């Protein structure tokens, strides 16, 4: 991993910490912002940045995702990413809500979930340039994995990663579990 990449990642993390500490829309409850001194992260690790091969679902299947507020939300499974990380081959599904053509939502759990990372899983978002096609290569970067807003406050409702996105490996990359009481 280039020093350049690691520095950009650290700068991105500093910016996020600043947003969480000061912004009115921060998920950190206002009464906890004064003592908030930044999120906890795994060190940047190039082994958790993988080239994934894309399979596009031309007729995306709807997937009902449970949420932390127990009102399921509907997503469409638009792509599957196949990649190698942690010494094995894995897949993750990517989702969008109906009518949304922006970022691809990739919620997941791994063997750090509920221990080193948030108990309900973490998220990644991929913003491909243009439409994806079968066989395209995209980078899955677990260093960018983050905890959803509901990890910081129960006022947020967050989709839970469906079972098809439960990885049977340890992914020590991205955000660690928030230390919010």
Q: How would you write 13-50 as a 3-class SS string? A: HHHHHHHHHHCCCCCCCHHHCCCCCCCCECCCCHHHEE
Token readout for 144 is 């960018």
Give the whole-angstrom CA distance, residue 148 versus residue 26.
12
Average pLDDT per 10 consecutive residues for the chain, totaling 181 residues = 84 94 92 91 94 95 93 95 95 93 94 96 92 94 96 93 97 89 44
Q: What is the 3-state secondary structure (H, E, C) of the chain?
A: CCHHHHHHHHHHHHHHHHHHHHCCCCCCCHHHCCCCCCCCECCCCHHHEEEEEEEEEEEEEEEEECECCCCCEEEEEEEEEEEEECCEEEEEEEEECCCCCCCEEEEEECCCECCCECCCCEEEEECCCCCCCCCCEEEEEHHHCECCHHHCCCCCCCECCCHHHECCCCCCCCECCCCCC
| CA atoms 30, 32, 34, 38: torsion sign | negative
Give the whole-angstrom CA distance, residue 143 versus residue 152.
20
Give the whole-angstrom CA distance, residue 78 versus residue 98.
10
CB 86 within 8 A of CB 171: yes
**Best CA proximity match to 66, nearest among 158, 164, 145, 150:** 158
pLDDT of res. 1: 56
Residue ranges per structural domain of the chain: 48-165
């Amino acid at each position: 991993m280039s020093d350049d990449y690691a520095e950009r990642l650290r700068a991105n993390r500093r910016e996020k910490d600043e947003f969480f500490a000061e912004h009115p829309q921060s998920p950190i409850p206002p009464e906890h912002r004064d003592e908030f001194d930044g999120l906890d992260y795994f060190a940047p690790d190039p082994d958790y940045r993988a080239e994934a091969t894309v399979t596009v679902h031309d007729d995306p299947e709807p997937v009902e995702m449970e949420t932390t507020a127990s009102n399921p939300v509907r997503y469409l499974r638009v792509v599957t990413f196949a990649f190698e990380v942690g010494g094995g081959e894995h897949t993750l599904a990517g989702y969008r809500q109906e009518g949304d053509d922006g970022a691809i939502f990739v919620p997941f759990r791994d063997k750090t979930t509920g221990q080193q990372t948030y108990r309900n899983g973490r998220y990644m978002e991929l913003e491909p340039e243009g439409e994806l096609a079968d066989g395209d290569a995209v980078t899955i970067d677990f260093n960018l994995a983050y905890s959803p807003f509901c990890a910081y406050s129960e006022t947020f409702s967050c989709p839970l990663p469906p079972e098809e996105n439960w990885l049977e490996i340890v992914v020590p990359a991205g955000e660690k579990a928030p230390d919010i009481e």
